[in-house]
């Protein structure tokens, strides 16, 4: 999957830690500016670390915050 694919579908990069099971979404735009839209997101893996525990044992996935959101309760009018 490329940075362009993520940006065209309004998705984020999800860092999933194998050590602490943290799931952290990050914006692909700054990385796309550096590496280019055609670059694969796997290029981030060697330098990426879990933001929670610092482990290098991570997986990178696409994440859509819209598809995964929990509906907010309706407010009374």
Could you tell me the residue ranges of all domains in the chain? 3-63
- Report the 10 Å Cβ neighbour count for 22: 15
Has residue 5 got a pLDDT over 60? yes
Residue linked to tokens 């065209």: 8
Percent of the chain scored above 90 by pLDDT? 82
What pLDDT score was predicted for residue 70? 59
Q: 13-33 pLDDT, tens per residue?
A: 999 999 999 999 999 999 999
Alpha-carbon torsion (22, 25, 26, 28), positive or negative: positive
Q: 35-72 pLDDT, tens per residue?
A: 999 999 999 999 999 999 999 999 999 999 876 555 65
Strand pairing report for 58-63 and 12-17: antiparallel
CA–CA distance, 1 with 23 (Å, rounded to integer): 19
Alpha helix ranges (H) inside 1-77: 3-8, 29-35
């Amino acid at each position: 999957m490329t940075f362009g694919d993520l940006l065209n579908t309004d998705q984020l990069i999800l860092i999933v830690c194998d050590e602490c099971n943290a799931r952290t979404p990050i914006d692909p735009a700054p990385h796309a500016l550096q590496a280019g839209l055609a670059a694969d997101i796997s290029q981030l893996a060697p330098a990426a670390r879990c933001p929670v525990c610092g482990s290098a044992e991570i997986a990178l996935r696409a994440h859509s915050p819209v598809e995964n959101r929990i509906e907010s309760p309706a407010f009374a009018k």
